[in-house]
Amino acid sequence: MLKRTITGLIIAGVWVLFFVLKAVFSDLVIISTAVSKHPVDLGMLLFDILLLIMGSLGANEILRVFEKKIIRPHRIINVLYPIILFPMMSLFGIEWAVVITILAMLLVLAVSVPYYDDVTIEGIGLTFLSMVYPSGLLVCLVAVNHLAPFSALVLAFAVSPAADVMAYFVGSLFKGKKLCPNISPNKTVSGAIGGLVGGVIASILVCVVFYSSSTHIFDAMWKEIVAYAVVGLLGSLLTILGDLVESLMKRKLDVKDMGKLLPGHGGVMDRIDGLLFSAPLVAFLFCAVLPMMALAV
């Protein structure tokens, strides 16, 4: 427990450091609209580097557990995918995610032809899965980093850990009925409810703390708090789902953890599984839905 707590604090410290760097260097524009559709500042680029590191480490962990089922050329493509994807998106626009992903998928299929004797349909499917999970889902955080208010990015990183921590403590205290015993025997319904409450509390705190310094979506604070609370609730649900999906994968693959990089937590994928599922929701709501709602009000 002590090892897990120390590692968790270090992870939180790294995330906070990159948030501070993003805030400090947010006024230093290094790429103008002449190159990218939106101005890119140094703070955005630095945070994109964090996402690149998370994507690359996560991709390597996924490839490690799928190693015997994916041919070497496909593994090389998967390693290069986030290394090319994140910088191109960061420098030239979010739309590059679509272009690079399609090209990478076409390359996977093209490379399969000369490797006919070794490649399998299962291996091709796992290659595509390894591209989407985690790098394809982390793309959503690049969108939030570039297009949404600063508070939305903080929210994305706050909800999942808050939900996880509250679920752990409430579940340990009240125990009770198991949530999905066949997939994750330790998770309880009481823990899941605690996780939902924790996510909502975290989202409201983020809204209140950053309300005066971040771009507003609505013209009244109470509307903003309600919006953040709803995002926190839905994000917590997706955090629980993401955790269960990774538990399912580990059971099917017969592995305890996706990696060993983080003592007490396993690997990077074991730490960000909930974040990967809640990130698309935050991107969808803060980059598309909520701005449209604000214009309509």
Query: What digits encode the pLDDT tens for the residues 82-107?
Result: 999 999 998 888 888 999 999 999 99
Give every CB contact of residue 120 below 8 A, 6+ residues apart in sequence.
69
Residue 123 or residue 185, greater confidence:
123
User: Which candidate, 34, 11, 14, places its Cα nearest to that of 22?
Assistant: 14
Contact 207, 174 (CB under 8 A): no
pLDDT, average across residues 288-296: 72
Asked if the model's pLDDT at residue 27 lies above 70, the reply is yes
Tokens representing 6?
Answer: 């120390």
Neighbouring residues of 134: CB distance < 8 A, sequence distance ≥ 6: 54, 55, 58, 59, 62, 269, 272, 276
Q: How far apart are CA 269 and CA 133, in angstroms?
A: 9
What would the pLDDT profile of 264-280 be if each residue is shown by its tens digit? Answer: 778 899 889 999 999 99
pLDDT for the residue numbered 224: 86
Q: Over 60: is that where the pLDDT of 34 sits?
A: no
CB atoms within 10 A of CB 14: 12
pLDDT at position 37: 65
Q: Is the dihedral of CA 175, 260, 3, 48 positive or negative?
A: negative
Mean pLDDT of the chain: 89
> What integer pLDDT is reported at residue 1 of this predicted model?
67
C-alpha distances out from residue 176 to 17, 76, 179, Å = 38, 46, 9
Q: pLDDT over 90 for what percent of the chain?
A: 61
Residue 297 has what pLDDT?
57
Read off the pLDDT of each residue in 201-209 and give the average, rounded to a whole number: 94
Quick one: pLDDT band at residue 126, thresholds 50, 70, 90?
very high
When pLDDT is averaged across residues 149-165 and rounded to a whole number, the result is 92
Cα separation, 297 vs 279, whole angstroms: 26
* pTM: predicted TM-score of the whole model, two decimal places: 0.90
pLDDT at 288: 84
The string of DSSP letters for the chain reads -HHHHHHHHHHHHHHHHHHHHHHHTTT-EEE-TTTSSS-EEHHHHHHHHHHHHHHHHHHHHHHHHTGGGS-HHHHHHHHHHHHHHHHHHHHH-TTHHHHHHHHHHHHHHHHHTTTTTT--HHHHHHHHHHHIIIIIHHHHHHHHHHHS-HHHHHHHHHHHHHHHHHHHHHHHHH--SEEETTTEEEEEHHHHHHHHHHHHHHHHHHHHHHTTTS--SSSSHHHHHHHHHHHHHHHHHHHHHHHHHHHHHHHHHT-S-S-SSBTTTBSHHHHHHHHHHHHHHHHHIIIIIHHHHHHH-
User: What does the pLDDT read at residue 294?
Assistant: 62
